[in-house]
Chain A
Amino acid sequence: MESKTFLVVDDSATIRQLLTLTLRKYNGGGQLKIIEATDGREALEKVRMAHYDLVLTDIKMPNMDGLEFVHKVRTELENTTLPIIIISTKGEEEDVAKGMAMGATAYLTKPVSAPKLLETIGRILGQGGQVVS
């Protein structure tokens, strides 16, 4: 099974832990490495330095928010293929539109259910990953 590395970006330890628990169901929990970052700046540095198959990011974070992070990945790093899922409490239509305009691949609202998250990841990564849900 192909190994994958996901980056989870959220300033809340609770949300990071919960997302990590959920993501372990992806690929049956095997061959999946989960790296954490607490804000956009740290995440941008990590994306600059290493390859990730998927990024899950919050919006409201200190230092650099999720929208700026997504924008910088797409423009500064010129990485247009990295799938980035925004997971935010901001769920109004304009928030979603803004996130997608910045270059997000998908936009989910908190609290996100495990099946919904896994289904979205499965859809984005295609047949490459089995979704155990």
Chain B
Amino acid sequence: VGFTSNELLDILAKSEDLADLLRRSREAASDLVRENEELKSRLDALERRDDPNARGEAAEESGELARRRQENERLRAELMALDSEYRRFAHRCIEVEAQNEALANLYVANCQLHTSLEPEGVAHAIQDIVEGLIGASQWALFERDAETGDLVLKAGEGVASRFPTGRIRGDEGPEGRAVQSGRPLIGGSGIEDEQVALLPLTAGGERVGLIAIYRMLAHKRNGYSPIDYELLNLLSGQAANALASSRLFAARLRTVQPI
């Protein structure tokens, strides 16, 4: 039709630009339509809000919401009360469990103290309780010599250097004073890491000896627990009877055997 090849190329390029412009216009129109619909929908919502019926419904819903909020608060308070009750119950369970364990310890310790009729057997039971249940690493069991009143070392752990002669005078040191007073002494000695417990052993009104604890195992150095105190109490009462009985039995055997 009379166009040169350069003119044709120019027309082709322009037509492509036009097509591109058309596509972008279509997209823009489509965006405008969507925006328009959104605005319409918002307008409808605003108009509905002005509707007296809609206002009633909204008021009802708001009332319901308040009621639910109130119910929610009540349930939350109830839940908190239940939670607190549950915690109290769980705490009590732990206490009962600890008491059971303490009773089991006391029961077994008591049984073992009275299992043997031999002084060595009783000393061994005392060792089990003092080391295995209380957790002492340095301790001593003294028997009181009825004639001299001296305290004679019968068993123990880690106290050889403390009592090189294996015996102390009945009125000497805190041990002797504890036996003389007949009162247990429990507490710190003023020396680091020492937790002293001196338990005079009294049976039938007679002083028969003393259990002395000086140091606890590394993992028990934060002091005596309530069950430790129970065990110490048990020891000061029952160990004395067990020791006295075993001594009487041994003496009786000695008199019977020659016959």
A contact residues vs B (CB 8 Å cutoff): 12-15, 17-18, 21-22, 89, 91-92, 109-111, 113-115, 133
Q: Which residue of A lies closest to B137 (CB)?
A: A89
Whether B2 sits at the interface, judged by CB under 8 Å, is no
A91 touches B104 (CB 8 A): no
Q: Which residue of A lies closest to B220 (CB)?
A: A111
Closest 9 CB pairs of A and B: A14-B128, A12-B128, A14-B112, A18-B108, A91-B219, A17-B108, A114-B101, A15-B132, A21-B104
Q: How far is the CA of A118 from the CA of B255 in the complex (A)?
A: 50
Whether B36 sits at the interface, judged by CB under 8 Å, is no
Q: How many residues of B contact A (CB 8 A)?
A: 24
Whether B115 sits at the interface, judged by CB under 8 Å, is yes
Whether B172 sits at the interface, judged by CB under 8 Å, is no
A133 touches B97 (CB 8 A): yes
Whether B197 sits at the interface, judged by CB under 8 Å, is no
A14 touches B129 (CB 8 A): yes
* 15 A-B pairs (CB sep. < 8 Å): A12-B124, A12-B128, A14-B132, A17-B111, A18-B108, A21-B104, A22-B104, A89-B135, A89-B217, A92-B218, A109-B217, A109-B219, A111-B133, A113-B101, A114-B97
Interface residues of B in 66-104 (CB under 8 A from A): 97, 100-101, 104
